[in-house]
Structure 1
Amino acid sequence: MVLSFIGLIGGLALLVYLTLKGLNLLVVAPLCALLVAVLSNIPIFPQLTDGDGATFLQNYMNSFANFVADWFPMFLLGAIFGKVMGDSGAAQSVSKWVIGKLGIKRAVLAIVLACAVLTYGGVSLFVVAFSVYPMAVSLFKQANLPRRFIPATLAFGSVTFTMTSAGSPEIQNWIPIEYLGTSPYAGWEVSIIVAIFLALTGYWWLQTLISKAQANGEAFEEREEDPATSNRELPNPLFSIIPLVIVLILSFTLHDALEKSALIVALLGGVLSLYILNRKYFQDFSTALSEGTTGALVAIGNTAAVVGFGGVAKASKAFEQSVEAMTSIPGSPLVGGAIAVSVIAGLTGSASGGQVIALPILAPHYLDMGVNPEALHRTITISSGALDSLPHNGYVVTTIRAICDETHQRAYWAMGALTVILPLIGAAIAILLFSLGLGI
């Protein structure tokens, strides 16, 4: 058992370290998973075990393949949508309109609000990053802001004050309903207070980090692949923003009937409407499609590689013992639940994964104790969005590397501050407020 714990902790630490160093995740993720398997005495190949026991190869590849099967259409259409937004000039048109209305100093605010509206409207976090990135590049360029902060800006608007708030259609807010018998609006009074804290504090912190970098001489770094904005005719801002609105409306209205498949319809509607409305402004539509397809393959490959690591980690005896220990933490059930879900989410690199593993154990136990289910729902939801955003998280890897073409060394620290530290503080505030009787 000691070796299993060494393998689990060592494998995770090594994965985080190598991710920060910028090594290829398709190589390092399975190697780190192999370390976990060897030290946990998990057979490497299916042929080395009898029956249906866990093996390194089977668990890794099943988790890898299942993620690709579930999400590839959304990744593909999301990447294509982002590319055609840039190639058509629609992203630049919207950004110029936003700058004209809000002013150049509010470029970051515009990106955060765009991400927040799409996330709260039910659009997948991955798709939000793909969709808003072209506009973010254009806004950062016009405002001359250091582009290494684009991933942090996208993440702040997507996975902090919106993803885990009451009423959010994101899966992280819906998983507890099945186990606690609550609603998406559980603990809404506390949720509003925490969301306001996260939004205001996070925006101030992000602006402070950017201002400090600018004071140190950092500025926007142009790249050859950036959409050209000079000496080209741009589409009407209204026709440029309509496709984004279509994605939001279709995703929201079809969410209950089609669940995540609604994103396929929504993104397809966005791509088609963008082409119909702005087809004469495209510079090279076929190239945009090709680049979007390639980008989707890279993004989902990197993400699935990390998901595969989680599939092996969950099969280890150390992981099983860790879950049992964390779900039996004495003291306030809200504190125990928050710690258990957040740590498991960190180990698996997934907020939803942390909830799905912990809730079947936590929910019956705490409900029998008389814990308020709405308070438990909101606490667990907020806390799940903290340690899940460690460097190996799939969304983090996809946003930094595949979408923004940055390195963890340059971009992660600002993102980590906003998506790990802030939600931890938010979870503590929620527990305090519930303990004082608010919303119960």
Structure 2
Amino acid sequence: MIAAIGLIGALALLIFMTVRGVNILIAGPVAAAVVALTSGIAWLPPLASGGAPDYATTYMAGFTGFFADWFFMFLLGAIFGEVMRVSGAAESVARWIVGTIGIRHAVLAVVGACALLTYGGVSVFIVAFSVYPLAVPLFRQADLPRRFIPAALAFGSVTFTMTSAGSPEIQNLIPMQYLGTTAYAGWQVSLIVAILMASLGYWWLQRMVRRAVARGERFESRPSDEQVEGAEADERPLPHPLLCLLPLAAVLAVFMAFQYPQSLGALSAMLPAQSLDKWALVVALSAGTVIAMLIGLRERARMPGAFSVGATGAVVAITNTCAVVGFGAVATLSPAFQQALEMVRDLPGDPLIGAAIAVTVIAGLTGSASGGQTIALPLIAPHYLGAGADPAELHRTVAIASGALDSLPHNGYVVTTIRAICGETHQAAYGPVGALTVAVPVIGLAVALLLFALF
């Protein structure tokens, strides 16, 4: 009982601290310490008897393990995004989408720009930074409440694109190393679910915006707007938008080629016989970065700075995620966690349902889709594969499930987007964000489970 109270209380404390602005590198270890205290876990290795696990070693094992596995992907993703931004390619693509769709569909323009960049391999953190300066004037011209900008950014980045088949985001790649699948696992169901989530989420977002406008909410300018827009809206000539799509297309094409080398016919002899799994993303992002640099040659003097900023951003992003993975690693030692996991694994019926519940809960506990998968899959994959679950179906179920409760208020991306990028408060902006990034993926997950059961 004490362990269960401690686990729930630690999660509540973690959410409270992050919402209040406490750095996740502090909040994570503190919340994990509460779990250790209430679960009888020794604080330090010398205090652990008989080789039992301890708080410090377990937390750092989770922290450094995730860092070692995914640092290169974070690094290349962040650098690619920065090069796209500095070259003007990201802005050109986003402005092209805005111009094509029109001011009457300002919300759709922001969502579409985020979706294209995310599915093109740009890190979700970089996408938010890139599109926000364009969303501000767009919402101003349409006179829409700016508190919905975080929701539009998040919906286009971390829902129907992030966990869909073929997505080069790591949330779609992590299951491959545990299940022996490819990034396109379960693509038929994934396509249907992605269309459903995109349609439902956009309708819901538009409805929330219209109701807010009907209540009299309008765009409220801030002194910082001119500086934000000026950083990207200078008079420099931008590359042609169709040319700027080449880096995104290259990431997807190279990624797919290394996932399915046999599909290239005679050219396949130049590639490894087997899929490179997550390392294919490193090759793909490298190719996209080179092309983006060629497109932005006129900005070559700024490229070293882009690499530096991207590297720094990658370290910040991955360490924030590592902080909650470390918390999750300690949480898995709690007797309450183990009892809950056993209950979920022993659920009768379709093993996909048990896997979905387990990943959803763990992703919510850690506040991270990627962190939740990293913790959950080693524990559940052997069990559910042994129970007869199809690896491709399990991959897609786990990916979609990880993108639901991960977006609770303490999620690193949510905190960064709402507070650091958009300058909003959780009170004003999290309602729409939660509806679109928690409720919509949960509905998509239910539909995916139904489709897998039927077909």
> Taking structure 2 as the reference length, what is the TM-score of the superposition?
0.79
Q: Which residue of 2 aligns with 1:348?
A: 366
The equivalent position to 1:130 in structure 2, one of 119, 126, 129, is 126
Inter-CA distance 429–262: structure 2 relative to 1 (3 Å threshold)? closer
Alpha-carbon distance in structure 1 between the residues aligned to 2:65 and 2:179: 27
Q: How far 1:343 moved relative to its partner?
A: 1.8
Q: Which residue of 2 aligns with 1:8?
A: 7
Do the aligned residues in 2 keep the contact of 1:302 with 1:397 (CA within 8 Å)? Answer: no
The Cα offsets for residues 275-312 of structure 1, whole Å up to 9 and x where unpaired, read as 33223247855554444343333322222211111111
Alpha-carbon distance in structure 2 between the residues aligned to 1:286 and 1:272: 13
Q: 1:21-420 maps to which residues of 2 (within 5 A)?
A: 21-50=20-49, 52-117=51-116, 123=121, 127-131=123-127, 133-144=129-140, 148-165=147-164, 190-213=189-212, 215-219=216-220, 221=222, 222=225, 224-229=227-232, 232-238=235-241, 239-255=243-259, 257-281=275-299, 284-330=302-348, 335-349=353-367, 350=369, 351-353=372-374, 354-365=376-387, 367=388, 379-397=397-415, 399-400=417-418, 408-420=426-438
Q: How far 1:67 moved relative to its partner?
A: 2.2
Alpha-carbon distance in structure 2 between the residues aligned to 1:433 and 1:373: 15
One-letter amino acid matched to 2:362: I
Name the count of aligned residue pairs: 429
**Structure 1 stretches of 5 or more lacking a match?**
none
Do the aligned residues in 2 keep the contact of 1:20 with 1:391 (CA within 8 Å)? Answer: yes
Deviates more, 1:280-289 or 1:85-94: 280-289
One-letter amino acid matched to 1:295: G
Alpha-carbon distance in structure 2 between the residues aligned to 1:178 and 1:259: 7
Alpha-carbon distance in structure 1 between the residues aligned to 2:283 and 2:166: 22
Q: How far 1:11 moved relative to its partner?
A: 0.5
Inter-CA distance 301–174: structure 2 relative to 1 (3 Å threshold)? closer
Alpha-carbon distance in structure 2 between the residues aligned to 1:23 and 1:272: 38
Q: How far 1:32 moved relative to its partner?
A: 0.5
Inter-CA distance 68–231: structure 2 relative to 1 (3 Å threshold)? closer
One-letter amino acid matched to 1:241: L
What SS does structure 1 have at the residue aligned with 2:237? Answer: coil
Q: How far 1:234 moved relative to its partner?
A: 1.9
One-letter amino acid matched to 2:382: P
What SS does structure 2 have at the residue aligned with 1:275? Answer: helix
One-letter amino acid matched to 1:319: F
Do the aligned residues in 2 keep the contact of 1:299 with 1:403 (CA within 8 Å)? Answer: no
Q: How far 1:71 moved relative to its partner?
A: 2.9
Alpha-carbon distance in structure 1 between the residues aligned to 2:391 and 2:250: 36
One-letter amino acid matched to 1:420: V
Do the aligned residues in 1 keep the contact of 2:164 with 2:194 (CA within 8 Å)? Answer: yes
**Structure 2 stretches of 5 or more lacking a match?**
261-274
Q: How far 1:115 moved relative to its partner?
A: 4.3
Alpha-carbon distance in structure 2 between the residues aligned to 1:304 and 1:240: 33
Do the aligned residues in 2 keep the contact of 1:346 with 1:389 (CA within 8 Å)? Answer: yes
Alpha-carbon distance in structure 1 between the residues aligned to 2:333 and 2:239: 53
What SS does structure 1 have at the residue aligned with 2:277? Answer: helix
One-letter amino acid matched to 2:364: G
CA RMSD of aligned residues (A): 3.6
Q: How far 1:395 moved relative to its partner?
A: 4.4
What SS does structure 2 have at the residue aligned with 1:235? Answer: coil
The Cα offsets for residues 122-178 of structure 1, whole Å up to 9 and x where unpaired, read as x37xx1441464134324423425555444334323433344445656665677778
Alpha-carbon distance in structure 1 between the residues aligned to 2:305 and 2:81: 13
Identity %, equivalent residues: 51
Q: How far 1:104 moved relative to its partner?
A: 2.2
What SS does structure 2 have at the residue aligned with 1:259? Answer: coil
One-letter amino acid matched to 2:101: L
What SS does structure 2 have at the residue aligned with 1:217? Answer: coil
**1:426 is aligned to 2:444:** yes
Do the aligned residues in 1 keep the contact of 2:173 with 2:277 (CA within 8 Å)? Answer: no
> Taking structure 1 as the reference length, what is the TM-score of the superposition?
0.82
Inter-CA distance 170–99: structure 2 relative to 1 (3 Å threshold)? closer
